[in-house]
Amino acid sequence: NAGVIQTPRHKVTGKGQEATLWCEPISGHSAVFWYRQTIVQGLEFLTYFRNQAPIDDSGMPKERFSAQMPNQSHSTLKIQSTQPQDSAVYLCASSLVGGRYEQYFGPGTRLTVL
Amino acid sequence: GDSVTQTEGLVTLTKGLPVMLNCTYQTTYSPFLFWYVQHLNEAPKLLLKSSTDNKRTEHQGFYATLHKSSSSFHLQKSSVQLSDSALYFCALYGGSGNKLIFGTGTLLSVKP
């Protein structure tokens, strides 16, 4: 079991450019979560999919951020027109169902917006 | 809404001493509490979890007891090691949604 895979591990973009982050959950896990981690804000929930369907996106900034899960083997987080304040580590996690079950985190993608 | 409070941002200790990291929570649902540990440049990993009132749960020398009467789930270890230096997150699943609510984290730094 390779665990949750996230690519790329590091991404540097210029202000105004687009960034797409990829996540491959653990096979058999039906819940996928995206989080953003910064020193100031800590670990912030962004969005949650269950069986590929979007369930809760209450943490997603309303503009510029979008997430998809086109199949059970991967999810993407897209940030349009990136801004310096988007610089963070973006973590993807998966679990058997959600909520009370253990979440397995990927290594994260460190996004730096110049 | 649901919330988790970790009062210590940084805890610095000498190897071999005991430690307690505080975690309190608020929820109107039946709580499920977790402790996650994140070592430098690594992903967070589950350390402990519990939903049973007044029952101690242990793993890797760490232990915690969920006390619903005081809404607490403090993490303890009797003798810290250098390898315990990491960021510790307390998290709550309260049933009001599908996500975990994380505390702000406590950085534990163990000195020789």
Give the model confidence (pLDDT) of A31-42 as tens digits: 999 999 998 888
The domain containing residue B91 runs over which residues?
3-111
The verdict on B32 touching A (C-beta cutoff 8 Å) is: yes
CATH code of residue B56: 2.60.40.10
Are A106 and B51 a contacting pair at CB < 8 A? no
Domain ranges of chain A: 19-97
Q: How, if at all, do strands B24-26 and B32-38 pair?
A: unpaired
Q: What is the pLDDT of residue B95?
A: 67
Q: Which CATH architecture has domain A19-97?
A: Sandwich (2.60)
- Overall number of domains in chain B: 1
Least CB-CB distance to B104: which of A42, A50, A91?
A42
pLDDT in tens, chain B (112 residues): 889 999 999 999 999 999 999 999 999 888 999 999 999 989 999 999 999 999 999 999 999 999 999 999 999 999 999 999 999 999 998 665 667 889 999 999 999 9
- DSSP letters, A3-29, are --EEE-SEEEE-TT--EEEEEEPPTT-
Calculate mean pLDDT across residues A64-76.
Answer: 95
Mark residue A72 as left, alpha or beta (left: phi above 0; alpha: psi -120 to 50; beta: remaining). alpha
Q: Which of A38, A49, A100, A104 best tests the B interface by mutation, with the highest count of B CBs <10 A?
A: A100
The residue type of A111 is: L
Q: Does B101 touch chain A (CB under 8 A)?
A: yes
User: Is B18 an 8 Å CB contact of chain A?
Assistant: no
